Copies of this chain bind each other. A is one copy, B any other.
Amino acid sequence: MTPTRKSPRHAQPAAGPTMADLARLAGVSAITVSRALAGSPLVNPETATRIKAIAEAQGYTFNVSARNLRLRSNRTVAVIVEMKPSPDRRMSDPYPLDLLGGISQELASAGYCVLLSTRAGGDVAAVRGADAVILLGQGAHEDAVAAVARWRLPMVVWGAPLPGAAQVTVGSDNRRGGALAAERFLALGRHRIGFLGDTAHAEVAARLAGFEAVLSAHGLKAAHAKPAAFTVAAGAKASHALLERHPQADALFAASDLLAIGAVRALTERGRRVPEDVSVIGYDDTPLAATYVPALSSVHQNLHEGGVLLARKALALVEGREVASETLPTNLVVRAT
């Protein structure tokens, strides 16, 4: 009646060896194996070496789920990327990947995993089970933030800090980025200045705020145009609209490099030369900006470092430490335009 050995009630594809198996082979108990593999100082170094050798020889793989269940932690951070993977709206901004690089590096070195998902993936159990969420991009009117906040997980957001909001934000200094662009235009003697960007995005709003602050200090105002998307075509269209109203514009600041390229295209189509007649500054300093002809001036943000910072704050949140929002420095890379 007493259950003697493993009664194979579950017809499973017999997996690799467990710690118990290794223990049997090494003539020790499972807990010693656990300690040895975890590098605990409690085990005799010789025993530990022997156990590790056996583990290696047996092709042992650690069962993460078992540990996670026992420890009630998943050592996993979900990263939510705003991706609309449709053929027409390609993810042309390479910025998420740079951020991901930083995040991945930092989390990996802390022994955490990066679980990649989109907003739609929020109902996947594993995402909800993550120890924290990193949200890349707040979305228009912070809708993404609101959606993910409902998951009630520790959350860090890449974007612009919002006055009223409680969540932790990491982002480049968008205000300063905008201010730098304005200062550059003023230094060039430009006075008929336009802005291209959808302020429904908090980052863009901050860029505009910094931009306008400098201009208004000099008694100037900026004309706005709101592109429908972050694409070259939308940038060109919005620029045309703006130039229709302000044909004498001599400087345009765009909220992204793609929009800036659209602006250059629209200006060229209208027979206005860049940079002779009109200065253009973009944002993000993507490879696009550097290689474009004319080489595009652009506001640079260190995305890799941003990723590292996002990861660190997420981990701090998991550990219950106090965490504050942080802003990364931005700088203007002056090129031909």
Contacts and interface: CB of A to CB of B under 8 A. Distances in A.
Interface residues on A, range: 35 or more
A83 B104 contact: yes
A216 interface: no
B65 A74 contact: yes
Contacts of A286: 92
Contact of A116 (B62, B93, B104, B290): B104
Contacts of A291: 232, 258, 261, 288, 292
**Number of identical protomers:** 2
Contacts of A121: 104, 108
Interface string A281-324: 00000111011110000000010100000000000000000000
B288 A85 contact: no
Contacts of A292: 291-293
Interface of A: 12-13, 15, 59, 61-69, 72, 74-76, 79, 81, 83, 85, 87, 90-94, 96-98, 100-102, 104-105, 108, 111, 113-118, 120-121, 124-129, 152, 232, 258, 261, 286-288, 290-293, 302, 304
A74 B85 contact: no
A104 B287 CA distance: 25
A271 to B, nearest CB: 16
A69 B72 contact: no
Given A13-B72, A108-B121, A64 B129 contact: yes
Contacts of A61: 125, 128-129
B288 A76 contact: no
Nearest to A286: B92
14 contacts: A62-B128, A62-B129, A63-B129, A64-B129, A65-B66, A65-B74, A69-B69, A76-B126, A85-B102, A91-B94, A104-B117, A108-B120, A116-B116, A293-B293
B97 A91 contact: yes
A17 to B, nearest CB: 13
